[in-house]
A and B are shown apart, each in its own frame.
Chain A
Amino acid sequence: MIEIIKISKSFNSQKVLDDLDLNIDPGKITVIIGQSGGGKSVLLKHIIGLIRPDSGQIIIDGIDITNLNDKKLNEVRKKFGMLFQDAALFDSMTVGENVAFPLNEHKRLSRKEINKIVDDKLNLVGLENVTHKMPSELSGGMRKRAGLARAIALDPKIVLFDEPTTGLDPIMRESIDKLIVATQERTKATFVVISHDIESTFTIAHKVAMLYQGKIVAVGTPDEIRSSNNSFVRRFIKDLRD
């Protein structure tokens, strides 16, 4: 369970998050949508402790991570996997080494066991024969798949996605959406996705949260959001579609 309680964050006197509250349900896909530059990535980085809030609390499984020291924060982070916008694969390593990286760092496993997990995770995200390739040899969609394989290598309870479909063509976007849904169904982990892609959001989300001017302005299932008569929500969806 992730509870975000009244967090605020400003950069150079510009308020990006403003007393924001949000509860994220375990074992579901929650999509946080909002306009580009609206603070979605900042919110996601707060959840994993990459940015500390000016005020407020972020509770992960009962632990407030906002004031933890590095050592304790690192322990909490082991519950997480994260897929970055451009996958953030390590350039100097092969795809296989990238997926094996968290396993080598945190598990005492033999090389054979690690290789098996790497193959399993790459198969799970639909990648074959790429173990020895460098990230620069992969297409954008393949890099995201490899990034997801690395994010789920340690079987985390929570997986964060930073704009997973940005920069992809419509076919690849649909394919990544299906992959997110299928992976969540198999892992039963909590997925938190941030996006400005309204079509993708309605396809994959169990729950949608709308971020606007530093606050969550609406929360509900995709159907609730889609059929909402609230003029603000309708205008928001229209703005994102445009």
Chain B
Amino acid sequence: MIRFLEFAGRPLVFFVEECGRIMLLLLSTISWMFRPPFRIRVIFKQMEFVGVNSVIVVMITGAFTGMVLALQTYHGFRMFGGESLVGSTVALSMTRELGPVFTALMVTGRVGSAMAAELGTMKVTEQIDALNTMSVNPIQYLVMPRIIAAILMLPVLTIISDFVGIVGGYFVGVNLLKINSGIFIAKIIDIVDLEDIFNGLIKAAFFGLILSLIGCYKGISTIGGAEGVGRATTQSVVLSSVLIFISDYFLTAVMF
């Protein structure tokens, strides 16, 4: 019986331990944020990597999300003569949900995985030990700038995604489906509040924290050479994506 309980409880123990280690990394990162030296250049470099280099992929995803949303809602709304609501539906969906979530998922795939792979490689090739031997704290030098960059840049990318998505929806709605341009825009202004956009950006910042924290945690806890780096990368993408969806539900429930 005890053996069975040990066997059955092992995943639970692992889960609790893993959560504890991730929280400890977060606390440690927060404490290192307020201690000198402040390496602004390293943070800007990460902001470029997380933000600037993700703009194209986020724009493409955002544009096609807005376009397909306009197409789908148009066919549904036409059944009861509600075509005029296509613009506001696209804008509301983009700002509240699809903008932040799809941006976070794309950045997880592009940046979260790269963080896990880069830090994982540094771990298995002793580069993180080398930092320690040179009296440089790896959490302050490697983890903290990545987390700050992701928290700051995700909202920026989400604004771009929201905007491009609405423009994509406008293009499909007005140019292809012949919805009146004035009505399309007026309904957006009528229905979408600034709060919708703002809450979406808070979500995005939170998703930025999740994907960077998980990416860094999986990276610095990598063991086992190239195979370990591959495993850490996959795990970081899967875990971050799942946590983004779960936290999205709870954030939505609290905020809207």
Q: Is the CB of A86 within 8 A of B132?
A: no
Taking a contact as CB atoms under 8 Å apart, the answer to whether B135 and A106 are in contact is: yes
When the two chains form their complex, are residues B133 and A77 in contact, meaning their CB atoms are under 8 A apart?
yes
Whether, in the assembled complex, B52 has its beta carbon less than 8 Å from a beta carbon of chain A, the answer is no
| Docked complex: B25-69 residues within 8 A CB-CB of A | 37
Contacts of B192-228 to chain A: CB distance below 8 A: none
Residues in B with CB closer than 8 Å to A191 are none
B137:A105 contact, CB within 8 angstroms: no
Q: Which residues in B have their C-beta under 8 angstroms from that of A50?
A: 129, 132-133
B18 within 8 A of A: no
How far, in Å, is B9 (CB) from chain A's closest CB? 20
B126 with A77: CB separation less than 8 A: no
Chain A residue with the shortest CB-CB distance to B37? A105
Question: Does A105 lie within 8 Å of B136, measured CB to CB?
Answer: yes
Contact B132 A84 (CB under 8 A): no
Known contacts: A75-B135, A80-B133. The answer to whether A88 contacts B121 by CB under 8 A is no
Task: Tell me the bound Cα distance from A160 to B130 in angstroms.
Answer: 12
Q: How far is the CA of A141 from the CA of B44 in the complex (A)?
A: 34
The answer on a CB contact under 8 Å between B125 and A88 is yes
Chain A: interface size category:
20 to 34
Distance in angstroms from A198 CB to nearest chain B CB is 25
Q: A90: CB under 8 A from chain B? A: yes
B134 interface hit (Cβ, 8 Å): yes
Chain A residues whose CB sits within 8 angstroms of the CB of B134 once the complex forms: 77, 101-102, 105-106
Q: Nearest-CB distance from B96 to chain A (Å)?
A: 38
For the complex, is B180 an interface residue (Cβ under 8 Å from A)? no
Within 8 A of B (CB), among A50-102: 50, 70, 74-75, 77-78, 80-82, 84-86, 88-92, 101-102
Among B121, B122, B133, B136, the one with the most A-chain Cβ atoms within 10 Å of its Cβ is: B133
Closest to B141 in A: A105
Bound together, the chains give a CA A50 to CA B126 distance in angstroms of 11
- Select which of A77, A85, A102 is within 8 A of B132 by beta carbon: A77
Q: How many residues of B contact A (CB 8 A)?
A: 15
Question: Separation in Å of the A85 CB from the closest CB of chain B?
Answer: 7
Asked if A48 is an interface residue, CB under 8 A from chain B, the answer is yes
The smallest beta-carbon distance between A49 and chain B, in angstroms, is 8
What is the CA–CA distance of A44 and B112 in the complex, to the nearest angstrom? 34
On chain A, the residues within 8 Å of B130 by CB distance are 82, 84, 88, 90
A77 to B131 Cα, complex, angstroms: 11
The proximity string for B residues 126-151 relative to A, scoring 1 for CB distances below 8 Å and 0 otherwise, is 11011011111100000000000000
Residues on A with beta carbons closer than 8 Å to the beta carbon of B129: 45, 50, 84, 88
Q: B137 near A86 (CB under 8 angstroms)?
A: no
- B93 CB to closest chain A CB (Å) equals 39
Give chain A nearest CB distance to B64 CB in angstroms.
33
Min distance, Cβ A42 to any Cβ of chain B, angstroms: 12
Cβ < 8 Å to B, chain A residues 189-229: none
Q: How far is the CB of B239 from chain A (nearest CB, A)?
A: 25
Contact with A74, one of B118, B125, B135 (Cβ below 8 angstroms): B135
- Contacting residue for A105 out of B118, B127, B132, B135, CB 8 A: B135
Question: Which residue among B37, B121, B122, B125 has the maximum number of chain A CB atoms within 10 Å of its CB?
Answer: B125
CB-CB under 8 A from A88, the residues of chain B are 125-127, 129-130
Closest to B137 in A: A70
Identify the closest chain B residue to A153 (Cβ). B134
Q: How far is the CA of A86 from the CA of B121 in the complex (A)?
A: 13
Closest CB-CB distance, B67 to chain A, in whole Å? 38
Contact A48 B133 (CB under 8 A): yes
Q: State whether A77 and B135 are in contact (beta carbons under 8 Å apart), knowing that A45-B129, A90-B127, A91-B127 are contacts in the complex.
A: yes
State how many angstroms separate the Cβ of A86 from the closest Cβ of chain B.
6
Chain B residues 77-114 with CB under 8 Å of chain A are none
Of all A-B residue pairs in the complex, the 10 with the closest CB atoms, nearest first, are A74-B135, A88-B130, A88-B126, A82-B133, A77-B135, A84-B126, A102-B134, A88-B127, A78-B135, A48-B133
Give 19 new A-B contacts, CB below 8 A, not counting A82-B133, A90-B122, A105-B136: A48-B133, A50-B133, A70-B137, A74-B135, A75-B135, A77-B132, A80-B133, A81-B133, A82-B130, A85-B126, A88-B130, A89-B127, A90-B130, A91-B121, A91-B127, A102-B134, A105-B134, A105-B135, A106-B134
| A/B interface sample: 19 pairs, CB < 8 A | A50-B129, A74-B135, A75-B135, A77-B132, A77-B133, A77-B134, A77-B135, A82-B130, A88-B127, A90-B122, A90-B130, A91-B121, A92-B118, A101-B134, A102-B134, A105-B134, A105-B135, A106-B134, A160-B133
